[in-house]
Structure 1
Amino acid sequence: MSQSPIFLIPEFKDRIWGGTALKDQFEYDIPSETTGECWAISAHPNGPNKVASGPYEGKTLIELWENHRELFGNVEGKAFPLLTKILDANKDLSVQVHPDDIYANENENGELGKTECWYIIDCKENAEMIYGHTARSKTELVTMVNSGDWDGLLRRVAIKPGDFFYVPSGTIHALCEGTLVLETQQSSDTTYRVYDYDRTDQSGNKRELHLNKAIDVTTVPHVDGLVDESTSQKEGITIKTFVQAEYFSVYKWDVDGQAELSQEHPFMLGSVIAGEAALLHEGVSYPLKKGSHFILPAETGDFQIEGTCTIIASHV
C-alpha cells in the first residue's frame, strides 16, 4: 500500500539575531519581530512539528517516528535523524562549533552530533559568513581565543544567493547579518558558542560561551567541507546535487512544467523555497507553495510535480 505525502506545520523560535524575513518572504505568521528560526521538519523535543492534514493530522513527527516507523522505511535509530530549518540572520549569529556523534553522546545526554549544511536563499549585497579558522594547532587556537584575536582567527567567506556550504561537526562557523538560509542538519540542538561579539541581552547579560567544549571539538587545522556539485536534467526538472555525505544527501529541484519523479529512499524531505506547484500522487493533488514543507514516506512510489517552483530535497 502506498503512503501519501505528509505536510507539516512550522514551529518558530525567537532569537536575539532574528528579524521579520520569515514573514516578509514566506508569509509565515511569526510570533515576534525577532523571529530567527523556522523549524520546518523537526522531531527534536525542543521543537517538534505537527502534521497539518491527512490521516495523521495533529500528531507530532516524534509520534510518527515512534509509532509508525514503516513510514520511514523502518530506519533504525532512537531519534528521527534529520532537521530542516529556515534561518533569518537579521544580525550576526554567534561564532560557534558543533560536536560529532561520539562527543555529543558522551557529553550531552545521548544527543546526536551536528553536521549541517546551508543553502543561501537570499542575502544582502556583499554578505559574508564565517567559515573556518586560521589556527594550525590546538595551542595556537587556544592562544588566539584567549587573546581575543578574532580578526586573525576567523575566516570570512563572501556569499551570494544560490551558494551551498557543507558544515561538518568541528567546523567553526557563523551566519552573518542579512542572510536567509535553508539548513539541513542532523537532529541536534547542541551548539558551543566561541564568541558572541560581547553582546548583551535586554537585562544586560552576555550570553554564555562554551570555550572548553568548543576547543575540544574544533577540527584543527580547518578543513573545508567537501561539496561535489553536479546537475542533471530531465523533462520538467533540473536536479542539482549539492552533497551526498554520511548523514544526508541534499538536492535542489527546479521544476518548470511537469516532472515525473519516484521516491526510492527510506523517506525524503522537501521544502518549497520559491514558486508554486502541485504535487500529484495517486490521483490526489497537493498544493505546493513557497514555505510548504513535506515528507515523502518510504512507500510513496511515483509522483509528479506540476508548476514552477524550487524545492530543497534531502534524505538520509
Structure 2
Amino acid sequence: MNQPLFFEPVFQERIWGGTALKDKFGYHIPSERTGECWAISAHPHGQSVVKSGPLKGKKIGELWSENSEIFGNDPSSVFPLLVKILDANTDLSVQVHPPDQYAKSQEHTKMGKDECWYVLDCKKNAEIVLGHNAKTKEELSNEIDKGKWDSLLRRIPINKGDFIFVPSGTIHALCEGTLVLEIQQNSDTTYRIYDYDRTDEEGNKRDLHLKKAIEVTRVPYKRFEFEPIVERQGGNKFIQFIKSNHFTIYKWEITEKAVMGKNHLYYLVSVINGKGFLKVDKEDYELNRGDHLILPSSLKTFVLGGQFEAIVSHP
C-alpha cells in the first residue's frame, strides 16, 4: 500500500478532563470531561480505526496482524507506540510507570511505559510535577506515608513548545491548564501515588498503588538530559527531539515544498498546527490540524507543502 493511512481518534473521559480537545481541534468529544484523545492507538482499551480508503474501518490492531507489510513486517510482538493528546483541565494524579522488565514479571504485559510530552498549549505560569527529592527508598516511602508532597515532589515551569521526556520510574503529573501531545510505549499501566483526595460522583476515591509505585521509582531522581538536533531545508525546519530505546521523536515545521525520503519502517504523524498537503506519486492528501496518520513502509519518498507543524515518531 503506497498511500498514507488517516485515523479516527478514540476519546476517553477522565475526572480531570475538559473541553480543550473540542475547542482547540474541533473534535466531537463525548462530554465536558474528555481528558484523552487516543490518536494512533492499537491498545485494547481503545483502538483507532482507518477513516478512509480501501482499509476504511480497520483497527490498527487488525492491520498489525493481517497487513504486517504496512509496518515493514516489524518484528515487535505488538504495535509498539501510542499517540495521545491530553487535556489536563485540572491536575492529573501524581503517578509513575514501570519499566519493561517489571511490567512483564509483575503485570504480565508486553512492555512498560516510557513516555514524552510536547506542550501544545498551557496557561500562564503552568507547571508539571517531574521527579522527587528523596535520596533513598526509605526516605521516599516515609515522605509518601506522611503526605509531605510539597517537600517531596519536584515541580518545574513549562511553556508552549516545550518537549519533556518521562522515562519509566519517574514520578510525574501534568498540572491544571496544560494541553500536551503524548507519545509513549503502547502500555496503559499506571501506579498512582497521590490523587489530591479527589472523589468521583459517588464519593469514592480512586485507587492508589503505593507498594508498586515505590518499587519502580528511580531513587535518587536524575533528570534525563538531551540535546535536540536541528536540520534546515530552505525555510523548513526538522527537529529531532530525542532518540531513546523505544522511540525517536521529531517536529516538522513546514513553510514551503519539501521533498522527503523515509529511512525508517513507518512514521506516525500528528498535525498540530496549520494546514498543508502530502503528495505521494500523483495523489495529493490534505493535512489539517488534528489529523493523525501513518506513513507505511512501502512509501519511500513523498512531498510536503503548505504551512503546518507536525510531531512525528517511529519505534
| TM-score normalised by L of structure 2 | 0.99
The residue number in structure 2 matching 1:89 is: 88
The residue number in structure 2 matching 1:242 is: 241
The residue number in structure 1 matching 2:144 is: 145
**Structure 1 gap ranges (5+):** none
One-letter amino acid of the counterpart of residue 126, structure 1: N
Match of 2:58, SS state, is coil
Structure 1 position 132 matched with structure 2 position 131 = yes
1:21-42 C-alpha deviation (Å, 9 max, x unpaired): 0000000000100100000000
- Aligned pairs for 1:277-316 within 5 A: 277-316=276-315
Take 2:268 and 2:199, find their aligned partners in 1: how far apart are those partners? 37
**Structure 2 gap ranges (5+):** none
One-letter amino acid of the counterpart of residue 283, structure 2: V
1:293-316 C-alpha deviation (Å, 9 max, x unpaired): 000011111111110000000011
One-letter amino acid of the counterpart of residue 300, structure 1: L
Take 2:101 and 2:3, find their aligned partners in 1: how far apart are those partners? 35
One-letter amino acid of the counterpart of residue 96, structure 1: Q
Instruction: Give the stretch that moved more between structures: 231-240 or 269-278.
Output: 231-240
In the superposition, relative to structure 1, how do residues 236 and 286 fare at CA in structure 2: closer, same or farther (>3 Å)?
farther
Alpha carbons 1:236, 1:259 under 8 Å: kept: no
Tell me the CA shift for residue 237 of structure 1. 1.6
The residue number in structure 2 matching 1:187 is: 186
Take 2:202 and 2:107, find their aligned partners in 1: how far apart are those partners? 28
Tell me the CA shift for residue 19 of structure 1. 0.3
Take 2:303 and 2:27, find their aligned partners in 1: how far apart are those partners? 26
Match of 2:121, SS state, is strand
Aligned identity (percent) is 53
Alpha carbons 1:165, 1:225 under 8 Å: kept: no
* Root-mean-square deviation over aligned CA pairs: 0.8
Give the ranges of 4+ consecutive aligned residues of structure 1 lying more than 6 Å apart after TM superposition. none
Take 2:269 and 2:235, find their aligned partners in 1: how far apart are those partners? 17
One-letter amino acid of the counterpart of residue 175, structure 1: L
Take 1:228 and 1:221, find their aligned partners in 2: how far apart are those partners? 22
The residue number in structure 1 matching 2:254 is: 255
The residue number in structure 1 matching 2:108 is: 109
Take 1:113 and 1:61, find their aligned partners in 2: how far apart are those partners? 20
Tell me the CA shift for residue 211 of structure 1. 0.2
Tell me the CA shift for residue 112 of structure 1. 1.4
Tell me the CA shift for residue 66 of structure 1. 0.6
Take 1:291 and 1:25, find their aligned partners in 2: how far apart are those partners? 9
- Aligned pairs for 1:159-170 within 5 A: 159-170=158-169
One-letter amino acid of the counterpart of residue 273, structure 1: I
1:2-52 C-alpha deviation (Å, 9 max, x unpaired): 621111000000000000000000000001001000000000011110001
Aligned residues: 315
Instruction: Give the stretch that moved more between structures: 232-241 or 163-172.
Output: 232-241
Take 1:111 and 1:207, find their aligned partners in 2: how far apart are those partners? 25
One-letter amino acid of the counterpart of residue 111, structure 2: L
Tell me the CA shift for residue 236 of structure 1. 4.4
The residue number in structure 2 matching 1:175 is: 174
The residue number in structure 2 matching 1:98 is: 97
